[in-house]
Structure 1
Amino acid sequence: MTASATESTGFDLDRPVALHPLTYLVEGDEVTVGCQATDSYGVLPADGAALVRRLAAGLSPNEAARWYADTYGEQVDVVEFLDALTELEFIDGASGSASAAPPLRWQRLARVMFGPIGWLAYASLIVAAIAVMITTPAVRPSYHNIFFSPYVTVVGLVLLLGQIPGLLIHEGFHALAGRRLGLRSSLGVGRRLYFVVFETNLDGLVSVPRRQRYLPILAGILADLVVLAALTVLAAATLRADGTVSAAGGVALALGFTTLLRVVWQFYFYLQTDLYFLVVTVLGCGDLQSTAKKILRNKVWRLLRRPDRVTDESTLPPRDRAVARWYAWLLPAGYAFSIGTLLLVMVPTAWQVFSRIFGRFGGGESWDTLADSLVFLALNIAQLLVLAALAIRDRRRRRAAARLTHVLT
């Protein structure tokens, strides 16, 4: 080994390299190699994964390179290979030996929640909610349940603040279902078209067999159904003697209806909801959304007779490319539906609401009514500002990624 090789890699190529404990998931001709200690994962060809296994078993880089040449009849640039492993954070640079992943919190709770006791509790609650919906019409989901108070500020604040625990429970179920499998997770805030959403990052799902991915993917919808059931049973339990809904029951029914809307929203799979990831997993795709967008853009450029703008589709994953042939046409249809709903339903509804709100400032209204209107306006403006801030953040990230791609090419 030359001195230049040592300086360029930072490793002695004749000594074993310390790797973090790694997982290997074989899927066809590819192997997903994962490191739970750094929450990093990469998809490698079978021969590349075999080389990683040799390094992890204690062979030095030079010994592993000779084994690779003897086994596959080809030479490997072991220096470049080590650089790639470093970028993937598979190499333990903190010590001379491999270090184990730090303990995973909440794993025992996750096993209880998705064990026999948890499933029995969820099933009992959902069955009880269905029973009270059948026998008590007053607690059935309805858009009328939203207007539980004559004050729009009260309605707005309750729906805004009351949905936050529901959203956290939704994402918490995703995270706990993943932690049950030993996967790490993180929570963030994102945007889907004109929707502000919470997001659970479960990159480690790619490292587990496909059949084990379904529960973490669907756990959020399960959480919504459980929350809806609990709110319905609470509303039924707090009914007045005359059968009318109490104040607490009214709040519960309002939050229950918005929870039901959250379940319906999952069917907007073109916005990459939970059901989108379910479809991708069932069909065995990787990044179907990006592949479909690239194919759709190519179709548009061909229609506009701009072959110079058409990109090479042969580099796209074969399975994604096959599914995207028909999925690509669902994207414009889905976005058209969302934008149409915004223009034909949400905008006119908002216009009527805000017209009434601004009409209150014409005079003759009591101070509490005016205060109600001002707070309502402030809440809605704040939500629009949050959406705008997320849109600006996403645009900056896209520009940064584009600059990075330009530098690397």
Structure 2
Amino acid sequence: MNENRRIQLHPLTFLEDKQGVLIGRFGTDTFAVFPEDGAALVRKLQEGMGVAEAHSWYQDTYHDEVDMDDFLQTLRDLTFICDVEEKETKAQKVSGQWLGKLAFSPLGWLIYGAIITCAFWLLYQYPQIRPGRESILFSEYAMVVFLGMTIGQIPGIFFHELMHMLAGRRLGIPSELGIGRRMYFLVFTSSMPGIWGFPKRKRVLPFLVGMFGDILWYSLLVIVAGAIWLNTGEKTIIAAYCMGLAFTTLLRFFWQFYFHLQTDIYYLMITMLGCVNLQEATRSYLKNIWYGLIGKKNKMVDMSKYTERDHQVARWYSFFYATGWMMMTGMILYLIPVVIQLLTNIFLSIFTGEDMKFWDSVVFLSITGIQYGIVFYLYLKERRNKREIRNLSMEQRG
């Protein structure tokens, strides 16, 4: 063993865990749980101790042997070791960290509190501006409603993800905003690489701040609607539009309680409960119950592939999982009257409406038909592909 050989490690985070020490590469989502003696050895290497010297230190301290070549290969597989061509990286101060600290400073919380208080005072004083499900139909033209609600969601979603990003930057995480899509809709996404390397209590704000952002965005929309009402004495199209967007913001807020999805609350729960893949473990647990009831035990999922903690928590988390489905179903039922009212207006406009309303309804139905037609086509295509793969597999076995 080369006595003078030293290795360069990327900046690492060390977090005490029930199962050992969680070590991660700073600014990434690469983490692994090490036993306490293994974590101590990593610390010595990070401090600059040579490989041979670290090996001797380990023997003297723990009176045990360690295969240093195998240990270093593990660190290399985890990308903890800098490559030969790669310069050693240092935990630099993340750009925009000052903005994150300012956003969640005492002054920032004071401003947020004032905005929310003002909004709820307006809601209490003026019931006319309270957003409800009927607020979605802010215009008599279907296409105006469709485009207004679709495009109007973008700033609110951006604000939600921006709050996540700022909370991450506040901790020194190189969190970023990105643009993605769900089907053919534009959405914003945020990433917080390295968040799992922080203590649990420090992860609470970054995970939940998006929901707080929704409350803040809702309050701002209510204030705009209230200001227009106070100035004009009536609910103008702009005020009605703000009320419609405020209601859909509430829908996004309650979306976080759909426990069968990977929402902000879900990530908080797996953090506090020490789980890894709770959602999939819960689905498998429920499947096994169903297969046991119908007598198809051969289809049961092997729960040993999940951590013991995931398996343990999944037994009672299944009630939350079912509650998420019930909440989603309840929300759909709550919105059905709005859908019926929209469709009634559309068909009345087609048969008895003026030219503008007639063509508005025709265009709306055409666009909606094309959208669902594409979804149905993709569904049939996916089923056909699965059938072909299954038939090919049967032919090969035959």
TM-score tier by shorter-chain length is 0.7 to 0.9
The residue type equivalent to 1:205 in the other structure is I
Aligned to 1:145: 135
Deviations 1:56-100 (A, max 9, x none): 122344443444444445544433433332332222226576221
Distance 1:237 1:350 in 2: 29
- Alpha-carbon deviation of 1:309? 4.5
Residue of structure 2 in register with 1:271 after alignment: 261
State which of 317, 325, 336 in structure 2 corresponds to 1:335: 325
CA gap of 1:387–1:152, structure 2 versus 1, over 3 A, is same
Residue of structure 2 in register with 1:111 after alignment: 101
> What SS does the corresponding residue of 1:31 show, helix, strand or coil?
strand
1:135: how far off? 0.9
Q: Paired residue for 1:217, among 207, 219, 236? A: 207
Check whether the contact 1:174–1:217 (CA below 8 A) recurs between aligned residues. Answer: yes
C-alpha contact (below 8 Å) 1:190/1:390 kept by paired residues: no
Structure 1 unaligned segments of length 5 or more: list them. Answer: 2-11, 396-409
Distance (Å, rounded) in 2 between the aligned partners of 1:102 and 1:383: 47
Shift of 1:164: 0.5
Corresponding residue number in structure 1 for 2:221? 231
CA contact (8 A) 1:18 1:92 kept: yes
Shift of 1:381: 5.8
Q: How far apart in 1 are the matches of 2:334 and 2:104? A: 39
Percent identical residues? 38
Check whether the contact 2:179–2:189 (CA below 8 A) recurs between aligned residues.
yes
- Give the whole-Å Cα distance in 2 for the aligned partners of 1:13 and 1:386: 66
Q: 2:126 aligns with which of 121, 127, 136?
A: 136
Pairwise CA distance, 1:274: 1.4
Q: Is the 8 A contact 2:225 2:242 kept in 1?
A: yes
Deviations 1:311-350 (A, max 9, x none): 55456333332221111244345336535765x5667865
Deviations 1:284-320 (A, max 9, x none): 3333212222333333343344555545545633333
TM-score normalised by length of structure 1: 0.79
Structure 2 unaligned spans of 5+: 384-398
Give the deviation of 1:198 after TM superposition.
Answer: 4.8
Pair 1:263–1:38, CA change in 2 (3 A): closer
1:368 aligned onto 2:356: yes
Q: 2:41 aligned with 1:51, yes or no?
A: yes
Letter in 1 for 2:270: V
Q: Are the equivalent residues in 2 in contact too, given 1:236–1:249 (CA < 8 A)?
A: yes
Q: Secondary structure, in 3 states, of the residue corresponding to 1:328?
A: helix
**Structure 2 residue 112 is matched with structure 1 residue 125:** no
Moved more, 198-207 or 302-311: 302-311
Q: Does the 8 Å contact 2:179/2:186 carry over to 1? A: no
1:156, 1:379 within 8 Å by CA — same for their partners in 2? no
Name the SS of the counterpart of 1:272 in structure 2.
coil
Root-mean-square deviation (CA, aligned residues, Å) is 3.6
> What residue in structure 2 maps to residue 92 of structure 1?
82
Note the C-alpha offset of 1:355: 6.8
- Identify which of 3, 15, 24 aligns with 2:5: 15
SS in 2 for 1:32: strand
Distance 2:309 2:271 in 1: 12
Indicate yes or no: 2:50 matched with 1:81. Answer: no
Give the C-alpha shift of residue 42 in structure 1: 2.8
Of residues 300-309 and 141-150 in structure 1, the stretch that sits farther from structure 2 once superposed is 300-309
**What SS is found at the alignment partner of 1:200?**
strand
Corresponding position of 1:161 = 151
Q: How many residues align?
A: 380
CA spacing shift, 1:147–1:358, aligned 2, 3 Å: closer
Code of the aligned partner of 1:231: L
Supply the AA of the counterpart residue of 2:321: L
Q: Which amino acid aligns with 1:56?
A: Q
Evaluate the alpha carbon distance shift between residue 147 and residue 94 of structure 1 in structure 2; reply closer, same or farther with a 3 A threshold: farther
Equivalent residues in 2 for 1:253-402 (5 A)? 253-314=243-304, 316-332=306-322, 334-335=324-325, 338=328, 350=339, 353-354=342-343, 357=346, 365-377=353-365, 380=368
Return the alpha-carbon distance in structure 2 between the equivalents of residues 16 and 144 of structure 1: 68
SS in 2 for 1:263: helix
* Paired residue type of 1:229: S
Q: Which amino acid aligns with 2:166?
A: L
Report which stretch shifted further, 152-161 or 162-171: 152-161
SS in 2 for 1:239: helix
Deviation (angstroms), 1:119 = 0.2
The change in CA–CA distance for 1:114 and 1:385 in structure 2 (over 3 A counts) is farther
* Distance in 2 (alpha carbons) for counterparts of 1:110 and 1:347: 41
Secondary structure of the 2:24 match is strand
Is the Cα contact below 8 Å between 1:25 and 1:31 reproduced in 2?
yes
What is the CA–CA distance in structure 2 between the aligned matches of 1:78 and 1:198, rounded to whole Å?
A: 45
Q: Given residue 154 of structure 2, which amino acid in structure 1 is its aligned partner?
A: I
CA-CA distance at 1:149 after TM superposition: 1.1
Matching residue of 1:401: none
- Judged with a 3 Å threshold, the aligned counterparts in structure 2 of structure 1 residues 85 and 188 are, in CA distance, closer, same or farther, namely farther
Q: TM-score when scaled to structure 2?
A: 0.81
